[in-house]
């Protein structure tokens, strides 16, 4: 049998130092970032589990950990022309496909640990939209037990304030990360999967939606409409943001986003929800109250580009400037010549990717849908999962809406 090549290469450490030399001063100046270096006296691999608050946080976490570490990364970064080849050559991330079984990811992790290197993973999968740690998939505890390594919990604080997922600008403020705890394999090996899962969730839990800290910019509200799509007066709608303000395009209600991450009406009065977390909870409640029925008219539409994606292959454009239509039981893509329907019962997952992209997976193919800068993929994710929950028997008391 042919011997498998080693995953870890000397060049990865050299690139890591190089990246750190660039990103350390950059993140310090731009993001107000500080960190505490993790000094482990024992030469051994770790599974490093982190929260996921901001675009740059993987570089931030890597700085805390001086030794060679491989990141588990979503498929998105493997389909960018040229850049993905460079990334693979330089730091060899471990590919992971969201919302699917990832047997090869697990095998690669095992192989890396065997080579004595550590693995870094953001088990939320989704960068937080609200400042609160998002849903964590329970499979993380199975992976930890399989790897039989100590778990290092590395937590970033302030990342949501400095650059929320929905925003396109960095605010003046501070963020910090460090390893907050190491859990030895001997400590957790006899725990049940659920016990370990609960522990992991608790260690990575932060809620920075209303912590009193302030972050400054003159574009604080910009692109909050990537996360918020529900108006208490109008239901599912489009919002439009500019500077520190945003408004509902249907009823005109206007809000202001304050440096302390709270929301007020632009006349200074109390807003219906006082921050993005409360707003998203309210929109989840609204979605859960919707009956599943077949309708002729879409609830809302967006203009998008539609791509076909394959892991390790560049994405292929199917059609540009398509109308994406959201229904209670399906989504449709309407081009000039035809309408393509994704019935939710034929779809296996719907995910929000990055800032303004939507991933739709069926039994046969993966599609990516990219909207304009204001596009909100969250509503498509929420409505798909609401449909899925409604098909369950018995129906869950609280629905998981995909985030």
For residue 143, which phi and psi values (nearest 5 degrees)? -60, -45
**Number of residues that this document lists for the chain:** 403
Which lies closer to Zn ion via its Cβ, residue 195 or residue 233?
233
Which lies closer to Zn ion via its Cβ, residue 248 or residue 276?
248
- Measured CA to CA, the distance from residue 302 to residue 376 in angstroms comes to 9
Task: Kindly tell me which residue out of 80, 251, 345, 373 binds Zn ion, with binding defined by CB under 5 A.
Answer: 251
Residue 266 is inside which H or E element, if any?
none
Q: Would you count residue 265 as binding Zn ion (CB under 5 A)? A: no
What Cα–Cα distance (Å) separates residue 60 from each residue in 112, 179, 231, 245, 331?
Answer: 21, 12, 36, 30, 37
Task: Kindly tell me which residue out of 20, 210, 250, 262 binds Zn ion, with binding defined by CB under 5 A.
Answer: 250
Which lies closer to Zn ion via its Cβ, residue 119 or residue 253?
253
Tell me the per-residue interface mask from 284 to 313 with Zn ion, x by CB under 5 A, - otherwise.
------------------------------
CB of 290 to Zn ion, least distance (A): 17
Tell me the per-residue interface mask from 8 to 27 with Zn ion, x by CB under 5 A, - otherwise.
--------------------
Cis ω for the linkage preceding 394 (within 30 of 0): yes
Task: Kindly tell me which residue out of 68, 231, 322, 401 binds Zn ion, with binding defined by CB under 5 A.
Answer: 231
Return the structure tokens found at 352: 């929000």
Residues in the interface with Zn ion (CB under 5 A) total: 6
Return the structure tokens found at 84: 């993905």
Whether the CB-CB separation of 138 and 197 falls below 8 Å is answered with yes
Which lies closer to Zn ion via its Cβ, residue 271 or residue 389?
271
Task: Kindly tell me which residue out of 233, 321, 339, 341 binds Zn ion, with binding defined by CB under 5 A.
Answer: 233
CB of 248 to Zn ion, least distance (A): 3
Tell me the per-residue interface mask from 188 to 227 with Zn ion, x by CB under 5 A, - otherwise.
----------------------------------------
- Mind giving me the DSSP string for 198-258? HHHHHHH--B-TTSS---B-S-TTTTGGGT--EETTTEE--EEEETTEEEETTT--EEEE-
CB of 268 to Zn ion, least distance (A): 19
First and final CA of the chain: distance in angstroms? 43
Task: Kindly tell me which residue out of 68, 248, 376, 381 binds Zn ion, with binding defined by CB under 5 A.
Answer: 248
- Residues interacting with Zn ion, by CB under 5 A? 231, 233-234, 248, 250-251
């Amino acid at each position: 049998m042919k011997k498998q090549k080693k995953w870890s290469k000397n060049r990865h450490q050299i690139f890591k130092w190089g990246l750190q030399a660039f990103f350390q001063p950059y993140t310090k100046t731009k993001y107000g970032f500080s960190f505490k270096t993790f000094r482990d006296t024992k030469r051994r691999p770790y599974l490093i589990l982190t929260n996921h608050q901001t675009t740059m946080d993987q570089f931030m976490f890597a700085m805390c950990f001086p030794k060679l570490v491989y990141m588990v990364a979503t498929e998105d970064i493997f389909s960018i022309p040229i850049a993905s080849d460079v990334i693979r050559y330089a730091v060899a991330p471990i590919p992971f496909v969201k919302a699917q079984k990832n047997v090869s990811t697990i095998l690669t992790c095992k192989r890396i640990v065997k080579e004595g290197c550590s693995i870094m993973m953001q088990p939320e999968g989704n960068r937080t939209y609200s400042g609160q740690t998002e849903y964590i998939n329970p499979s993380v505890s199975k992976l930890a037990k399989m790897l039989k390594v100590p778990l290092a919990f590395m937590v970033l604080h302030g990342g949501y304030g400095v650059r929320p997922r929905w925003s396109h600008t960095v605010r003046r403020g501070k963020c910090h990360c460090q390893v907050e705890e190491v859990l030895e394999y001997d400590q957790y090996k006899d725990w049940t999967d659920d016990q370990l899962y609960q522990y992991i969730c608790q260690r990575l839990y932060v809620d920075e939606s209303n912590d009193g800290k302030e972050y400054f910019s003159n574009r604080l509200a910009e692109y909050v409409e990537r996360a918020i799509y529900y108006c208490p007066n109008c239901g599912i709608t489009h919002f439009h943001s500019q500077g520190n303000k945003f408004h509902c395009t249907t009823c005109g209600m206007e809000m202001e986003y304050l440096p302390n991450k709270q929301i007020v009406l632009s006349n200074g009065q109390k807003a219906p929800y006082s921050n993005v977390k409360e707003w998203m909870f309210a929109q989840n409640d609204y979605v859960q109250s919707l009956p599943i029925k077949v309708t002729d008219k879409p609830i809302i539409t967006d203009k998008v580009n539609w791509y076909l994606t394959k892991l390790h292959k560049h994405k292929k454009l199917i059609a540009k400037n398509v109308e994406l239509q959201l229904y209670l039981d399906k989504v449709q893509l309407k081009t000039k010549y035809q309408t393509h329907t994704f019935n939710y019962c034929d779809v296996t997952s719907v995910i929000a990717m990055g800032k303004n992209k939507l991933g739709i997976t069926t039994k046969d193919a993966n599609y990516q849908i990219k909207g304009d800068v204001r596009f909100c993929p969250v509503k498509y994710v929420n409505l798909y999962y609401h449909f899925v929950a409604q098909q369950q028997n018995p129906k869950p008391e609280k629905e998981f809406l995909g985030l």
